[in-house]
Amino acid sequence: MPRQLANDLADKIRVQAERSGAQEAETYLETNTTTEVRIRQGQIELVSQSAVQGLGLRVFRDRRMGFLYTTDLRDTVLTELVNRTLNLTNMATPREENKLSEYLSSSQSDLEIYDPIVAQQRPEDLVRLARAAEESAFAQDKRIQTTRDVRCVTSVYEVFFSNTYIARGTYRATSVSLSATPIATQGTQRREGTYIDRKRFLSDLARPEQIGSRAVERALARLGAGPIPSARVPVVFSAEAAGVFLQGLFPALSALNAIEQRSFLAGKIGQVIASPNVTIIDDGTMRRGLGTRYFDGEGVQTHRTVLVDRGVLRQYLHTAATARRMNATPTGNGIRSYDSLPTVGPTNFYIDAVSKTHPVTEDVVQGLYVTGLAGFGVDIVSGVYSQQVDGRWIEKGVLGKPVEGVTVAGKLDEMLLGIDAVGRDLDFRNNVVSPTIRFKELTVGGGA
């Protein structure tokens, strides 16, 4: 759909809803084009392209809300959408927070989230990148004879927004990712390792040769892995593992979960909840960030929000509704798609790196270095953490034998307070990331 036509359509449906009886109305029109290729053993396993467009309509009347969406943008369907959405308000329960945000987006400088070169990539271009990554993997070591797959994906999406107070708002963004998963074989043992890079701009993406090489390193490092005896020892989470841990921790910093007492951090604003080494930030304005956007799903301008400042909990993340309930300012974290209502979500969410002159493993006499996490491990209500992991055993500061089939466990409040080292290897290959972190002591449940 041409951009001007999409802008006009979002505006038109919003006005139509208002004229039909909505006191406030909001339209969220989204288009998304994704191209993916998948390579295995030099052969193309998949080439797919999808184009999705949809419009979500949210209306408010007497503090009652109605919401519907459609992917059929014909006039007759959209007229029916307006009427049905308004009818839904008659069945809804009135709530004081049911209104549009009064904190609206203003113009921002170029956040560099759209790369025309990514938008111009053809499937054959992605095939070349994927093949180069796989060829690099095979060239690294004779123990690499096959791959699970190598994938290259591009996404181009655009948002057209309109509400009663913002006639028009729009932005477009791109992303490109390349991943490789080689399989290492040694005797009867087979282990795989994955490395993925994802960026807004193609020029920022790691070279295919680097991706293949790093994936091989991970696969080879897992050969010969086994369990270890149970112990309470220092545990170091690699940057990637720490990012996964942080993703599980994110809901604890949601204002909605705090309001509804579904977070172990509820009611702790102003209190020390982590070690002084820990600063946690959500930054929706980071240039070229994978979670960066000009405004959130409610038209609120994105911000850089310091949630935990050197161990002290300063703030939760908000939508307009939670901000109203807590008498706070929205943080620009109303994340949504055309087919969903805004919920508290991360933009670029990370533990800030600190300057450390040596690896955080160097002064560990004995401990565990975690490189991979499996399954779900964070219970933000009870504050309990338990997760199956794999990695390497640390002996006198040196990474030793590979480890698998073990569980790491602890209480989240004690774990956060016990982070006694934070690395400086922060790498934004996702929108939720962390540098390497070290927990002073955790329970490692082994099977040996």
Q: What is d(CA 323, CA 327) in angstroms, rounded to the nearest whole number?
A: 6
Evaluate if pTM is beyond 0.85. yes
Query: What type of residue sits at position 418?
Result: G
**Burial (CB count <10 Å: 0-12, 13-18, 19+), residue 308:** buried
Instruction: Yes or no: say if 395 and 366 are a contact pair by the CB < 8 Å rule.
Output: yes
| Same domain (yes/no): 400, 416 | yes
Query: What is the rounded (10 degree) CA torsion for 173, 26, 67, 101?
Result: 90
| Same domain (yes/no): 435, 288 | no
Residue 103 lies inside a defined structural domain of this protein: no
Residue 65 lies inside a defined structural domain of this protein: no
Domain boundary among 292, 319, 350: 350
Q: Which residues pair with 416 in a beta bridge?
A: none
The residue segments making up the domain with residue 318 are: 266-350
| Same domain (yes/no): 287, 322 | yes
Residue 193 lies inside a defined structural domain of this protein: no
Residue 127 lies inside a defined structural domain of this protein: no
pLDDT value for 448: 60
Strands 231-237 and 366-374: parallel
Q: What is d(CA 394, CA 402) in angstroms, rounded to the nearest whole number?
A: 10
| Same domain (yes/no): 339, 369 | no
The angle subtended at Cα 95 by Cα 90 and Cα 96, nearest 5°, is 130
- In what helix (H) or strand (E) does residue 376 lie, and over which residues does it extend? none
Query: What type of residue sits at position 415?
Result: M
Which 3 state secondary structure label does DSSP give 399?
A: strand
| Same domain (yes/no): 298, 373 | no
| Same domain (yes/no): 298, 275 | yes
Query: Is the CA virtual torsion 89, 90, 91, 96 positive or negative?
Result: positive
Domain boundary among 316, 350, 384: 350
Residue 157 lies inside a defined structural domain of this protein: no
pLDDT value for 167: 78
Q: What is d(CA 270, CA 308) in angstroms, rounded to the nearest whole number?
A: 9
| Same domain (yes/no): 242, 385 | yes
Distances (CA, A) of 428 to 121, 185, 355, 358: 22, 31, 17, 21
**Burial (CB count <10 Å: 0-12, 13-18, 19+), residue 271:** exposed
Crossing angle, helix 208-221 and helix 123-140, to 10 degrees?
A: 40
> What's the number of domains the chain is made of?
2
Instruction: Yes or no: say if 164 and 14 are a contact pair by the CB < 8 Å rule.
Output: yes
| Same domain (yes/no): 346, 363 | no
pLDDT value for 355: 64
CA 380 to chain centre: 17
| Same domain (yes/no): 278, 324 | yes
pLDDT value for 49: 97
Q: What is d(CA 253, CA 382) in angstroms, rounded to the nearest whole number?
A: 14
Distances (CA, A) of 289 to 19, 118, 176, 200, 365: 39, 15, 12, 7, 37
CA 247 to chain centre: 7
- In what helix (H) or strand (E) does residue 239 lie, and over which residues does it extend? helix 239-249
Identify the CA nearest to 28 among candidates 7, 47, 46: 7
Residues 6+ apart with CB under 8 A from 193: 181, 182, 184, 215, 216, 217, 218, 219, 220, 221, 222
- In what helix (H) or strand (E) does residue 218 lie, and over which residues does it extend? helix 208-221
Query: What type of residue sits at position 188?
Result: T
Q: What is d(CA 414, CA 410) in angstroms, rounded to the nearest whole number?
A: 7
| Same domain (yes/no): 242, 368 | yes
| Same domain (yes/no): 360, 346 | no
| Same domain (yes/no): 271, 404 | no
Q: Give, for all 448 residues of the chain, the pLDDT tens digit.
A: 788 899 999 999 999 999 999 999 999 999 999 999 999 999 999 999 999 999 999 999 999 999 999 999 999 999 999 999 999 999 999 999 999 988 777 767 899 999 999 999 999 999 999 999 999 999 999 999 999 999 999 999 999 999 999 878 999 999 999 999 999 999 999 999 999 999 999 999 999 999 999 999 999 999 999 999 999 999 999 999 999 999 999 999 999 999 999 999 999 999 999 999 999 999 999 999 999 999 999 999 999 999 999 999 999 999 999 999 999 999 999 999 999 999 999 999 999 997 665 679 999 999 999 999 988 889 999 999 999 999 999 999 999 999 999 999 999 999 999 999 999 999 999 999 999 999 999 999 976 6
Residue 305 lies inside a defined structural domain of this protein: yes
